[in-house]
Amino acid sequence: DAKTTQPTSMDCAEGRAANLPCNHSTISGNEYVYWYRQIHSQGPQYIIHGLKNNETNEMASLIITEDRKSSTLILPHATLRDTAVYYCIVRGGSNYKLTFGKGTLLTVNP
Amino acid sequence: EAQVTQNPRYLITVTGKKLTVTCSQNMNHEYMSWYRQDPGLGLRQIYYSMNVEVTDKGDVPEGYKVSRKEKRNFPLILESPSPNQTSLYFCASSPRTYSGANVLTFGAGSRLTVL
């Protein structure tokens, strides 16, 4: 699976959009981009995933660049409860295993 | 509610005393997996199972055993726990899909301390 690079930490004001970047320059054609988050030692929680097209669900939006070498997770209206470590993971379709990096600690401030 | 349930959530034990951490899912998922999480090392896969009676080693299988006799259950067994197995453990499951995208659902975690 392709390696990902994320900033170590980010801050966001409550009510603002949080934009979390991820670089995955070695991604291959059949690999998906997944985002999970972990709130203080709880089980990782699935947020969203995508292959080529931008995706949106009730939690977030995922913007993938046309060359697929980077992506951005967008939380449109961050709340204090969105404070968590966010993991960007690239994984091939036939591989069920998730390889977690260090992720980005997002702190939402009042 | 669709979920992965782990027990116990917290356990303090002593070196050498066999223990089992249970994991059960109610989503009829084929794939199940165990991870451990340690400070500075992140989440690492211990064992996984693609279906009943099919298990395989992950990245850090030493000191652990698993079994998959039923589809819903995937217990993690520590035959002779040691202090270096003090960790936060997560069980996860996923349906088997052929579209190329698989979403893992994680349990709430089991915090194990071995003295």
A47-100 per-position pLDDT tens digit: 999 999 899 999 999 999 999 999 999 999 999 999 999 999 998 766 677 888
- Cβ of B50 within 8 Å of Cβ of A44? The answer is no
CA dihedral (B77, B83, B88, B90) in degrees, to 10, reads: -20
> Are residues A32 and A38 in contact, defined by beta-carbon separation less than 8 angstroms?
no
- Cβ of A42 within 8 Å of Cβ of B88? The answer is no
Tell me the residues of chain B between 28 and 57 that have a Cβ less than 8 Å away from chain A.
31, 33, 37, 42-43, 45, 48, 50
The label of the residue with tokens 């698993």 reads B66
3-state secondary structure at position A72:
strand
The pLDDT of residue B15 is 97
Distance CA A87, CA A38 (A): 8
Q: Which residues contact B54 (CB under 8 A, 6 or more apart)?
A: B68
Measured CA distances, B105 to A44, A45, B18 (Å): 8, 7, 27
Backbone torsions φ then ψ of A12, nearest 5 degrees: -150, 145
Judged by average pLDDT, the poorest of A7-11, A34-38, B21-25, B95-99 is B95-99
* Alpha-helix runs per DSSP H in chain A: none
Distance CA A42, CA A30 (A): 30
The label of the residue with tokens 């997996």 reads B33
B67-108 per-position pLDDT tens digit: 999 999 999 999 999 999 999 999 999 988 766 677 899 999
Distance CA B105, CA B7 (A): 16
Closest CA to A51 of A29, A26, A73: A29
